[in-house]
Amino acid sequence: MKLMHCPLNGPRNISEFVCHGEVVAPPDHARCTDAEWAAYVFLHDNQAGVVREWWMHVPTAYWFIAERDTRSDQILRTYRASEMYSARLDLAPNGRAT
């Protein structure tokens, strides 16, 4: 059984987690072109090697970041999203009400 270390819940069976894909900064949706938005939605780097991804522990709905090697299936490090994001991400930077 493969274990993943959840920053909130400790080591748990990997089947309790869901991978939500590469950590990428979203483009400014109000200003970006359709092509930029399409690239953000659909395209992946899909690297063979060390990747940084969003994961979620499903029973607690806890989101965090994991670094793992996609060639060896090794999980190198998991950490709280606050390590990467210290401030709130403003998804409506043009000043519109959210």
Q: What residues make contact with another protein under the rule CB under 8 A?
A: 1-2, 14-15, 18-19, 21, 34-35, 38-39, 42-48, 51, 70-73
CB of 70 to another protein, least distance (A): 5
- Using the minimum distance from each CB to another protein, give the nearer residue, 1 or 87: 1
- Using the minimum distance from each CB to another protein, give the nearer residue, 3 or 82: 3
Strand partners, 5: 11
**40 phi and psi, to 5 degrees?**
-65, -40
List the structure tokens of 59.
Answer: 């029973």
Cα distances (Å, whole numbers) of residue 28 to 41, 53, 82, 91, 95: 13, 20, 21, 7, 12
- Using the minimum distance from each CB to another protein, give the nearer residue, 26 or 93: 26
